[in-house]
Structure 1
Amino acid sequence: MDEKDWRMLQVIHQERNITKAAEQLYISQPSLTYRIKQLEREFGVKILSRKKRGVDFTAEGEYLVAYAENMLRQLRETKDYLNNLDHTIKGTLRLGVSQTYARYELPQVLAQFLAQDPEVDLDVRTGYSLEVLQMMQQEEVSIGIVRDPYDWKGPKALMGDEGIYLVSKDEIDMEMLPYLPRIDYRTDLSLKNRIDKWWKGTFELPPKVAMRVDLIDTCREMVHQGLGYAILPEICLKDSSDLHRYELKIGDEKLTRQTWLLFDENSSDLSVVDAFIGFIQGRGRGEAQS
């Protein structure tokens, strides 16, 4: 087995489908099937069990996948270490990023960082914050940017703290909210719980949810068209100065959402990781002073 085989097993395990795995690996389905059969002959075990709509891994196959993922991780760490030896800022920066932060802030952040350290390569994955946390726990990424810190036990740094607002195209009477159409969107459970807590502490009636959409951008555009109100974090309202905003509070405390930088103590020894952490912290100080 070599690096190509390790990657092959990893992709098949993720997709559970030979056709989709072959597409990801840029090889033909017969070539992929042939290589699996070769591995089965080499190890004298059955690796895959075919189903009507995909494949399952045998116990032996699961063991080989775990071995492959461990070898890929060791190879990645070796490459990172060797890139770090000459003390220049280069290598691959592996980032897991909350999709909301990735949409509104990350492009500018990465452009500024690469302008400072142009020899760095990027490997960026996005998802809900809980998914990013899982990436960190499984060592798939070296740095995570999440909305709320969840249960991360390692080092972390606060990147920002923003308000959560009720927004509408026209002025509204807040006491009438239970009777007005609301537009909801799919989001992290932590934000949903915070909004639900505010609502239950303010109103006795449930909200009148008229639309449920996948994307926060879709939700905001529905509000722009006057189709209802929404409750949105400030990060996605930079280009929405025409919307009416209502600050939300629980008692005297403003409803806010934090963005956190998560990292592992061992990973911070790598020059590229240390450089990005320093860049983010320095950027935060610069914004605070401006």
Structure 2
Amino acid sequence: MYNLELYKVFYLTAKSGSLSKAAKELFITQPSVTHSIKQLEELLGLILFARTSKGVELTTEGAVLFSYIEQAYNLIASAEAKMDELRNISDGEIKIGGSDSLCKHYLLPFLEVFHEEFPHVQIHLVHGTTPEIIKQLKEGRMDIGIVRSPRHDEQLHVREGITLQDCFVAGPKYKALAGQRLSLKQLLTYPIILFSRNSSSRNLITSLFLQHGYSLQPEIELGSVDLLIEFAKRGFGISYVTEEFVTKELADGSLFKIELDISIPPTRTGIITLKNMPLSMAAAEFVKKLEMTQQTDM
């Protein structure tokens, strides 16, 4: 690997878009910055920057290199932050990734209790699908991921979370279906509402329909579980949601569960962390207490 200082000069120049700004941040002269970039370009055999009237901008090849170097800098910054956090559980910072629904219905009640015990620990929530959370975890942008049906990955340590059961629900407009047991073919005669993103729950139900010879094409796609619930309540169609997230609506009668002649397999949540990345004291305590809470609820 080439001199890390050359990559540092490259990174700061790319980030600022200016040779003079990079020189100022590095406490060196502008010619020294230019020389370092030229050295790196010669070593790699590629042109990394193009001069513009406003400074410099990355070439296509430079942009590819920057995407990797940026990840390295994020990991270094995370490492430095971890060194501070490892010394103290009472303050520190925890970055947690999860879907909107898992954050609201699963994590939020626990976060309230954790925050009362450790009020000075800063908690940052990042929303995304399982693939997005795993990507950011590997890039060092977060400490812990809470995901549905985590796949085997050699880089990840997975702790089992709670079991979740997905189901189809409808509002009063479709009350004639209450108590009936529908086939998949019968269900498809009604407007189906699904989550619009590439979520694990949507992939599961799509695959289940395909296994039985049916293509599940939603009439409406929505970007949040709250909208799925609201649209079903207002009679736009039959929504596919997680049963544990609509207990209130099922109890008050604003929604009812559609019974099918097949079983929808349950899924488990997973608490994921990087195998070779030590957690700060605050993050480790968070995971420990979350696991204990789950065992108590089971």
- TM (norm. structure 2) is 0.72
How far is the alpha carbon of 1:263 from its aligned partner?
Answer: 1.1
Query: CA distance change for structure 1 residues 262 and 48 in 2, over 3 Å: closer, same or farther?
Result: farther
- Aligned partner of 1:256 in structure 2 is 266
Query: CA distance change for structure 1 residues 104 and 7 in 2, over 3 Å: closer, same or farther?
Result: farther
1:286 to 270, 274, 296: 296
- Aligned partner of 2:166 in structure 1 is 164
Separation of aligned partners in 1, 2:125 and 2:50:
30
Identity %: 14
How far is the alpha carbon of 1:167 from its aligned partner?
Answer: 0.9
Greater Cα offset, 115-124 or 265-274: 265-274
Alignment of 1:102-181 (within 5 A): 102-153=103-154, 154-169=156-171, 170-172=175-177, 173=180, 174-175=182-183, 176-181=186-191
Are the equivalent residues in 2 in contact too, given 1:132–1:144 (CA < 8 A)? Answer: yes
Separation of aligned partners in 2, 1:88 and 1:178:
52
2:72 to 70, 74, 83: 70
Are the equivalent residues in 2 in contact too, given 1:180–1:208 (CA < 8 A)? Answer: no
Separation of aligned partners in 1, 2:13 and 2:119:
31
Separation of aligned partners in 1, 2:19 and 2:158:
42
1:238 to 238, 247, 263: 247
SS in 2 for 1:118: coil
- Aligned partner of 1:220 in structure 2 is 229
- Aligned partner of 1:16 in structure 2 is none
Separation of aligned partners in 2, 1:219 and 1:61:
39
- Aligned partner of 1:80 in structure 2 is 82
- Aligned partner of 2:45 in structure 1 is none
Partner amino acid, structure 2, of 1:144: G
SS in 1 for 2:145: strand
Separation of aligned partners in 1, 2:240 and 2:136:
28
Query: CA distance change for structure 1 residues 47 and 160 in 2, over 3 Å: closer, same or farther?
Result: same
- Aligned partner of 2:238 in structure 1 is 229
Query: CA distance change for structure 1 residues 7 and 182 in 2, over 3 Å: closer, same or farther?
Result: farther
Partner amino acid, structure 1, of 2:79: E
1:185 to 192, 195, 217: 195
Query: CA distance change for structure 1 residues 90 and 177 in 2, over 3 Å: closer, same or farther?
Result: same
Partner amino acid, structure 1, of 2:283: V
Partner amino acid, structure 1, of 2:159: A
2:280 to 246, 270, 278: 270
Unaligned runs of 5+ in 1: 13-31
Query: CA distance change for structure 1 residues 92 and 286 in 2, over 3 Å: closer, same or farther?
Result: same
Pairing 1:39–2:29 present: no
How far is the alpha carbon of 1:237 from its aligned partner?
Answer: 1.0
- Aligned partner of 1:91 in structure 2 is 92
How far is the alpha carbon of 1:229 from its aligned partner?
Answer: 1.0
Are the equivalent residues in 2 in contact too, given 1:95–1:144 (CA < 8 A)? Answer: yes
Query: CA distance change for structure 1 residues 82 and 249 in 2, over 3 Å: closer, same or farther?
Result: farther
Query: Per-residue CA shift, 1:82-127, capped at 9, x if unaligned?
Result: 3323x54431112122232123233322222121222312232111
Separation of aligned partners in 1, 2:76 and 2:227:
41
RMSD of aligned residue pairs (Cα, Å): 3.2
SS in 2 for 1:132: helix
Separation of aligned partners in 2, 1:230 and 1:167:
5
How far is the alpha carbon of 1:63 from its aligned partner?
Answer: 4.4
Computing the radius of gyration from Cα coordinates, the structure with the larger value is 2
Separation of aligned partners in 1, 2:109 and 2:237:
31
Separation of aligned partners in 1, 2:206 and 2:235:
23
Number of residue equivalences: 256
